[in-house]
């Protein structure tokens, strides 16, 4: 049977659209051509879904700059909002416009940002913006889970989040995990849920966040505890004051701004409430960590 | 403002939390966050008690009396603590004094 013209067009459109599951929201990534589509499918293979999209990202990849120029520009690059509904990065490697009423964000990005040897921070930043924007349209800006700067590991059916800024050992922990100590959710960011209305507990879930180490599995598990990482001369767990835990955890939340929103009172109120809910429900400790694997799994086992 | 004027103002003025802060009670302490997210402050048990009293309705004397009841300390002792803490919170920009004169 020869397909009608309409059904052929529909198939072509569908073929270039990848739908990503990010926690409980779905973002459709609409690509301009097959190579972009292949790249997106490869990068996010474990997060593809058939669910209807809460938000559509129209993606156009350009090659205006050489990869070396992009690489050089990245450290200085910051996101800025322009007047109206437009945004861009200072180095012009990403730009776009948004129409949240119609659930669409159009993004133009340098193609080399998807290269394996490129820093993925800006693609990850776009994913976090897309996630919080989808939460804006689906949950009226009240995300049921937040992205947290942490390495998440599932052990014995429960998740442990090792939260901390860069260079505190998150990727090292993922590397040390191997196959025998647990399953890595992600070594850069994980989604941590709030307790739901029926009182179910907090869970940690992987998100389509790209890093060199994470296997990009899409799994979730009840959150057992949070360990706030601090580099030290030994590997040992410390109890910490609740207010200190609250603040240190809050600083690891990826700021829940949706596209077009300026960070401010509403955003910090969300973060403050989320941190309160988490520290009331989940034990939080400080993990002084000297990058020693044997000591690490020993102290983790003592917490289980 | 000299010390006498300052003392008089602090006695009669009502104290109110700054509008541009978010705060949460965490156990015995209170965490105050400026809403630009750049500054955070942790208030200990005594400062937290005073903070919660500073709703714009109470003056220093009333806060001091309540502190005496709560922590079983003398009025003079509590008064010094309350003034010092409130001065510090005002200095940090997280609390304001509603200016009133004695007759006002």
Backbone angles phi and psi of A192, in degrees to 5 = -115, 125
Residue A244: list chain B partners with CB under 8 A. 42
A132 and A170 inside one domain: no
Domain spanning B3-92, CATH architecture: Alpha-Beta Complex (3.90)
Which residues of chain A have a CB within 8 Å of the CB of B42? 243-244, 247
Q: Is the pLDDT of residue A253 over 90?
A: yes
In chain B, what residues touch A271 (CB-CB under 8 Å)? 37
Residues of chain A found within 8 Å of residue B39, distances taken between Cβ atoms: none
Nearest residue in B to A269, CA atom: B22
Which residue positions in chain B have pLDDT lower than 70?
1-12, 100-104
- To the nearest whole angstrom, how far is the Cα of A282 from the nearest Cα of chain B? 14
Residue B88 contacts by C-beta under 8 Å, 6 or more apart in sequence? Answer: none
Residues of B in contact with A263 (CB under 8 A): 36-37
Spatial separation of the C-alpha atoms in residues A213 and A235, rounded to whole Å: 22
Q: How do residues A35-71 score in pLDDT, each as one tens digit?
A: 888 888 888 989 999 999 999 999 888 888 887 888 7
Order of strands across the sheet with B21-26?
B21-26, B29-34, B40-43
pLDDT exceeds cutoff 50 at A8: no
Percent of chain A with pLDDT over 90: 58
Burial status of residue A294 (CB atoms within 10 A of its CB: 0-12, 13-18, 19 or more)? exposed
The answer to whether the beta carbons of residues A106 and A58 sit under 8 Å apart is yes
Q: What is the mean pLDDT of residues A198-226?
A: 85
Rg value, chain B, Cα: 14
- Residue A8: phi and psi, rounded to 5, are -65, -45
Residue A95 lies in a domain: yes
| pLDDT tens, position by position, A88-137 | 887 778 888 999 999 999 988 888 887 766 677 778 888 999 999 999 99
- Which residues of B fall within a CB distance of 8 Å from A264? 35-36
pLDDT of residue A204: 96
The residues of A whose Cβ lies within 8 A of any Cβ of B are 241-244, 246-247, 255, 263-265, 267-269, 271-273, 275-276, 279
A291 and A149, same domain (yes or no): yes
> Is the domain of A124 the same as that of A159?
no
Q: Do A243 and B29 touch (CB under 8 A)?
A: yes
| Residues of B with Cβ-Cβ distance to A257 under 8 angstroms | none
Chain A touched by B39 (CB under 8 Å):
no
**Of A139, A171, A191, which residue constitutes the final position of a domain?**
A139
Q: What is the CATH number of the domain that holds A202?
A: 3.40.50
Mark whether A154 and A288 lie in a shared domain. Answer: yes
Q: What is the mean pLDDT of chain A?
A: 87
Q: Name the B residues in 51-90 with CB < 8 Å from any A CB.
A: none
**Predicted local confidence at residue B7, as pLDDT:** 52
Domain membership of residue A6 (yes or no) is no
Q: Is the dihedral of CA A220, A222, A227, A228 positive or negative?
A: positive
Q: Does residue A44 lie within any of the structural domains?
A: yes
Per-residue pLDDT reduced to its tens digit, A255-287: 999 988 877 889 999 999 999 999 999 999 999
Note the pLDDT of residue A12.
42
Query: Both A122 and A186 in a single domain?
Result: no
Cβ neighbours for B27, distance < 8 A, ≥ 6 positions apart: A242, A243
Inform me whether the C-beta atom of residue B27 falls under 8 Å from chain A C-beta atoms. Answer: yes
Task: Identify the pLDDT of residue B87.
Answer: 92
Q: Are residues A174 and A112 in the same domain?
A: no
Domain boundaries, chain B: 3-92
Q: Do A243 and B22 touch (CB under 8 A)?
A: no
Do A135 and A225 share a structural domain?
no
A180 class by beta-carbon count within 10 Å (0-12 exposed, 13-18 middle, 19+ buried): exposed
Q: Using CA atoms, how far apart are residues A91 and A72, in angstroms rounded to an integer?
A: 10
Q: Are residues A125 and A102 in the same domain?
A: yes
Tell me the ipTM for this assembly: 0.79
- Residues A171, A286: one domain? yes
Instruction: Name the domain boundary from A103, A121, A139.
Output: A139
Is the overall model pTM greater than 0.80, yes or no?
Answer: yes
Instruction: With beta carbons less than 8 A apart as the criterion, state whether A272 and A243 touch.
Output: no
Residue A1 forms part of a structural domain = no
CB contact under 8 A, B42 and A244: yes
For testing contact with chain A, the best of B24, B32, B51 (most A CBs within 10 A): B24
Domain span including residue A175: 145-303
* pLDDT at site A10: 41
User: Are residues A35 and A96 located together in one domain of the fold?
Assistant: yes
Q: How many domains does chain A fold into?
A: 2
Mark yes or no for CB contact B29/A242 under 8 Å.
Answer: yes
Of A139, A161, A181, the residue that ends a domain is A139
């Amino acid at each position: 049977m020869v397909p009608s013209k309409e059904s052929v067009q529909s198939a072509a459109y569908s073929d270039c659209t990848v739908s990503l599951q990010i926690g409980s929201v779905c973002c459709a990534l609409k690509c301009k051509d097959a190579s972009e589509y292949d790249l997106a499918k490869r990068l996010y293979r474990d997060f593809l879904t058939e669910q209807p999209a809460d938000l559509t990202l129209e993606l156009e990849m350009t090659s205006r700059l050489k990869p070396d120029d992009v690489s050089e520009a990245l450290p200085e690059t910051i996101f800025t909002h322009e007047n109206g509904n437009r945004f861009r990065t200072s180095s012009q490697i990403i730009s776009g416009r948004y129409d949240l009423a119609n659930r669409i964000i159009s993004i133009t990005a340098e193609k080399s940002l998807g290269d394996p040897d490129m820093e993925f921070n800006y693609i990850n930043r776009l994913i976090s913006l897309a996630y919080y924007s989808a939460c804006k349209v689906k949950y009226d800006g009240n995300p049921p889970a937040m992205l947290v700067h942490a390495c998440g590991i599932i052990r014995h059916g429960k998740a442990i989040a090792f939260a901390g800024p860069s260079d505190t050992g998150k990727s090292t922990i993922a590397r040390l995990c191997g196959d025998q100590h647990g399953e890595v959710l992600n070594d850069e960011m994980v989604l941590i849920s709030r307790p739901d209305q029926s009182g179910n507990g907090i869970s940690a879930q992987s998100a389509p966040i790209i890093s060199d180490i994470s296997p990009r599995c899409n799994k979730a598990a009840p959150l057992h505890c949070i360990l706030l990482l601090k580099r030290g001369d030994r590997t040992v767990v410390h109890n910490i004051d609740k207010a200190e835990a609250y603040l240190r955890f809050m600083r690891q939340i990826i700021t829940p701004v949706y596209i077009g929103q300026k960070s401010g009172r509403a955003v910090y109120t969300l973060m403050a409430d989320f941190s309160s809910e988490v520290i009331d429900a989940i034990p939080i400790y400080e993990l002084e960590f000297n990058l020693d694997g044997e000591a690490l799994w020993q102290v983790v086992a003592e917490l289980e | 403002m000299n010390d006498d004027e300052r003392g008089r103002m602090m006695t009669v003025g009502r104290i109110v939390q700054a509008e541009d802060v978010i705060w949460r009670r965490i156990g015995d302490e209170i965490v105050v966050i400026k809403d630009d997210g750049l500054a955070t402050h942790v208030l200990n048990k005594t400062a937290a008690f005073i903070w919660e009293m500073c709703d714009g309705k109470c003056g220093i004397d009333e806060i001091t009396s309540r502190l005496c009841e709560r922590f079983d300390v003398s009025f003079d002792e509590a008064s010094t603590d309350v003034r010092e803490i409130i001065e510090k919170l005002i200095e940090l920009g997280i609390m304001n004094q509603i200016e009133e004169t004695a007759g006002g």
